[in-house]
Amino acid sequence: MVTCVFLGFTSGLPLYVLIQLVPAWLRSHEVDLATIGLFALVSLPYTWKFAWSPLIDRYALPFLGRRRGWALITQIGLLFSIAALGHFDPAVSLQAIVATVFVVSVFGASQDIVIDAYRRELLADDELGTGNSFFVNAYRLSSLVPGSLALILSDHLPWAVVYWITAGFMVVGIVTTLVIREVSDDALAPGTLKQAIMDPFVEFFARDGIKSGLAILAFMFLYKLGDNMATALATPFYLDMGFSRTEIGSIAKIAALWSVIAGGILGGIAMLKLSINRALWIFGFVQMFSILGYVWLSTVGHHPLGLFVVVSAEYLGVGLGAIALTAYMARETSKAFTATQFALFSSFIAIPRTFANASTGFIIEAIGYTQFFMVCTLVAIPGMLLLFKVAPWQEERAQPPQS
């Protein structure tokens, strides 16, 4: 469980640098919202990581074992690429920043592939629920570094120093990788690259047919699309509402952290009694209607207490929905192909976040914040409708074969 905590922290840090710190940094240098939104496209490696996950499954580096060797390489790469961002000026070096952000994204996505596979191989079946809960909450806890600490420090220190301090937290992952034991069984590794690439996909689509497989992937894409859009440019929204970076770091980010963790804990407790299907329904409605708080905040503007309440409600829904969706993904994964199938699933749920970040700037500038958040609420409906197909209220889907 301690291993899951540290791996969760180091896995989450790069993503939160990309989606929280970088947008705030760019906006503070007066980069327009449309350009900031387009920066999300260079984080596409998180969406397409399943494309090279078979390579990581098939080939082991000549040190530290199959999982730990790749983990160390990606973590060292992240430390230096995150630190490098602070040495650019957004006013004159946007192309260099784009390239560096892309490098951070590649290393971050690759680290996720390795850590997801390691965690599945480390935990026994009866430990998966607890271990993933520790992992997810630590993943979210890491957002305090780029989303709160770094923003507060940026009011007092140069951005280059802020980025080096943020990057320094990758040492947590490096030390963890060096001290944990290797758990990968080389006997279970794919014998050929063809097996590593083809077999996970063949098994998934052959399980219940192509239509069923596509419906599952569509559901994973759409289930959290509404709240992904609503939170995509949250930090620039707070700035435009008149909140200082210190207020954002000490109010909005703290509210988001405690509520998303509370949502995860409450969701885990509730799912001791609820089936996965029913949790998807109930938590889905919560995450959809909580978006409406942003509609109100966009009309009242600078209101610190309102900011805390609205952000708390939204991220409570985010936490609940994430727990239900993670459990659903685990249920739909065959144990024989966990690494690549989990990479496929997590890539699909990253797609709406990536394209939401890329498009929301244009939408906001066209219709304004109030109408935008109303649109986000409506966008959540298709994912809920797909529950009739993939997770009906009265029926629990059978687990896929595990060998």
pLDDT in tens, 149-160: 888 888 888 988
Domain contains 346 = yes
Per-residue pLDDT, 247:
85
Structure tokens at 111: 């680290």
Per-residue pLDDT, 375:
92
Q: Is the pLDDT of residue 162 over 80?
A: yes
Domain contains 209 = yes
Q: Between these two residues, 189 and 108, which has the higher pLDDT value?
A: 108
Roughly what angle, to the nearest 10 degrees, separates helices 210-222 and 338-367? 50
Count structural domains, the chain: 1
Nearest to 166 by CA among 146, 184, 148: 146
pLDDT band at residue 86 under the 50/70/90 scheme: confident
Q: Is the pLDDT of residue 357 over 70?
A: no
Helices (H), 39-127: 45-48, 53-58, 66-85, 94-122
At 334, the amino acid letter reads S
Q: Is the pLDDT of residue 113 over 80?
A: yes
Distance CA 389, CA 402 (A): 23
Per-residue pLDDT, 205:
83
Could you give the C-alpha distances from 367 to 297, 364, 373, in angstroms and in order?
16, 5, 10
Distance CA 318, CA 311 (A): 10
Cβ-proximal residues to 251 (8 Å cutoff; 6+ apart), any chain: 243, 304, 307, 308, 311
Domain contains 395 = no
Residue 182 structural domain: 2-390
Domain contains 403 = no
pLDDT in tens, 30-71: 777 777 777 777 777 887 888 888 888 777 888 888 888 999
Per-residue pLDDT, 138:
86
Domain contains 353 = yes
pLDDT in tens, 363-401: 888 898 899 999 999 989 999 999 998 888 876 554 554
Could you give the C-alpha distances from 111 to 9, 72, 77, 99, in angstroms and in order?
12, 9, 10, 19
Distance CA 183, CA 160 (A): 38
Per-residue pLDDT, 403:
46
- What is the CA 103 to chain-centroid distance, rounded? 17
Instruction: Specify whether the CB–CB gap between 129 and 264 falls below 8 A.
Output: no
Tokens 């080939």 sit on residue: 59
pLDDT in tens, 296-328: 988 888 888 988 998 898 888 888 888 788 778
Q: Is the pLDDT of residue 120 over 70?
A: yes
Average pLDDT over residues 117-136: 72
Domain contains 397 = no
Structure tokens at 265: 């804990």
Domain contains 398 = no
Average pLDDT over residues 182-206: 75
Q: Is the pLDDT of residue 186 over 90?
A: no
Distance CA 79, CA 197 (A): 30
pLDDT band at residue 336 under the 50/70/90 scheme: low
Per-residue pLDDT, 187:
64
- Name which of 72-86, 257-271, 333-347 the model is least confident about: 333-347
What percent of the chain stands above pLDDT 70?
Answer: 92
Distance CA 363, CA 371 (A): 9
Average pLDDT over residues 205-222: 86
pLDDT band at residue 104 under the 50/70/90 scheme: very high
- What is the CA 100 to chain-centroid distance, rounded? 19
Structure tokens at 244: 């200082």
Distance CA 326, CA 321 (A): 9
Average pLDDT over residues 326-349: 75
Report the CATH number that the domain containing residue 162 is assigned in CATH.
1.20.1250.20
Q: Convert 23-50 to b/e letters by CB count within 10 Å (16 or more is b).
A: bbbbbbeebebbebbbbbbbbbbbbbbb
Structure tokens at 391: 């997770």
* pTM, entire model: 0.69
- Name which of 242-251, 285-294, 391-400 the model is least confident about: 391-400
Neighbours of 115 (CB within 10 A): 26
Domain contains 18 = yes
